[in-house]
Amino acid sequence: IKNAKTSEADLETVGETAERLGLQLDYDFNGEAYQTVSGQNSNNSVRIPNEFFSRVDEDGTWETINRTNGEVAKTYPARKLWEQINYAAWRCADPGVQFDTTINEWHTSPAGGRINASNPCSEYMFLDNTACNLASFNLLKFYNSESGEFDLEGYEHGIKLWTMVLEISVLMAAFPSKEIARLSYEYRTLGLGYANIGAMLMQAGIAYDSEEGRAICGALTAILTGRSYATSAQMAAEHGPFPGYHPNKDHMLRVIRNHRRAAYGVSRDTDIARDHELGDYEGLQTKPVPVDSYYLNEASDEYRSLSNASDILRSARASWDDALKLGQEHGYRNAQTTVIAPTGT
């Protein structure tokens, strides 16, 4: 590899070994050796319903189906297949796993059809033949390393502004087919997201893979989606909800209520959740991991690198209060508003 930082001794050792074996090393990414690596320039995902995991637990079998005629193609031991998927993902980061049942339980527009697939990078999950335009915030820009504060006011303002920008872009976009254009106008899905949260946590001195880090990520994501849906409802008050809203009204409001419960930290334990003022989650086989208020409120004194963590929690909850209240009154201009795209690529 031409630009790799390797010691001269290492290079000499590799070169001597290759010479002894009569090999000619190819360091070029455009060369023959690189082309022999399977799966380059592709994204591979497998879509798995909850029933598959029941078969894994039972040590049962799983049938794959031909897409052409719907007949059984092969029958596999479910556990062995699951082990192969996990090994492959560990070995080369593919395939990604899409949890089909969970995806459709959070579907805001099931009256229009089920969600069958995603875009190649898997952030956009919606109806066939729809599309959305993407925009992402650089979260590091909202963090002040001197004060240790996250700029909540600027973040929420940016969310409202860019939700409107992306809504405008629906009418300005050039779609690849008539059907994609028609359904994109009918459901008006948006793709607002963020990037650089890992760098923000690093600068704040908070471990990415920690309870604190996960709580902050969850709360900032809750603000993003909640405030964006609230803005969508405000636009619906002026311009009407998306054309496909009314057949999906009950489904969408159920999804919004479940998001709000997660922002308020409603437990995944049904017995505990029943006693919560917001009640248990609706229509979910697999319940979400809620925002953990302990690490954003009671425990905020334990780490001073994010000094307004409790304000972030309050903002997350207020965002979903507004999203539900305004949506009940006006509906929503957009069937979806946010995605987290892999912006590093």
User: 197 with 312: CB under 8 angstroms?
Assistant: no
Residue of 104, 123, 149, 186 marked catalytic: 123
Q: Can you say how many angstroms the Cα of residue 228 is from the centroid of all Cα atoms in its chain?
A: 15
The whole-angstrom separation of Cα 247 and Cα 38 is 45
The three-point CA angle 148-154-155 to 5° equals 85
The whole-angstrom separation of Cα 137 and Cα 158 is 8
The question of whether 121 is a catalytic residue gets the answer yes
The whole-angstrom separation of Cα 242 and Cα 337 is 12
Residue of 43, 104, 121, 186 marked catalytic: 121
The question of whether 119 is a catalytic residue gets the answer yes
The question of whether 217 is a catalytic residue gets the answer no
Residue of 43, 104, 119, 133 marked catalytic: 119
3-state secondary structure string across 94-151: CCEEEEHHHHHHCCCCHHHCCCCEECCCCCCEECCCCCCCEEEEEHHHHEECCCCEEC
The whole-angstrom separation of Cα 72 and Cα 66 is 6
Active-site residue set = 119, 121, 123
